[in-house]
Amino acid sequence: QTVFPPWRPGRGGGLFKAETNAVMAPRSHILLEAYMRLCARDHGKHIGSFSVATISYMGLYVEEDGLLDASLLPEPLRTSYRELNEGKKTTLQWLLELKQALRMDEEDSDPDESF
């Protein structure tokens, strides 16, 4: 049994072939939550930039294909994600508000890790 979507034109196969080991895949809202938390924590670092791109990808493809239920995100992430999708804020403004909502401040950052 698989939880991956079937093949769709332009989207690829959506599955992994594993002969010996199971492939574990988190539910899409949990993966999105993880990337949002990485984004807030690692702003200014390479992984933080990658997480912004992945959040955008999830909105453009995963959610558009009906494979993401953003209402399952915990607060304040649910509201923050909705605000990002509304497009009324710059990404930086959205990110700073996300960090504030998650009570992450600049002191939590490691300046030696920035790029």
2-22, pLDDT tens digit by residue?
Answer: 667 777 777 766 656 667 676
Residue 107 pLDDT exceeds 70: no
pLDDT at res. 114:
45
pTM > 0.85: no
Residue 46 pLDDT exceeds 90: no
Give residue limits of the domains in the chain.
Answer: 28-107
HEC secondary structure over 54-94: HHHHHHHHHHCCCCCCHHHCCCCHHHHHHHHHHCCCCHHHH
8 Å CB contact between 101 and 83: no
CA-CA distances (angstroms) from residue 76 to 36, 58, 84, 100, 102?
Answer: 11, 18, 12, 10, 7
**pLDDT tens digit string along 54-63?**
999 999 999 9
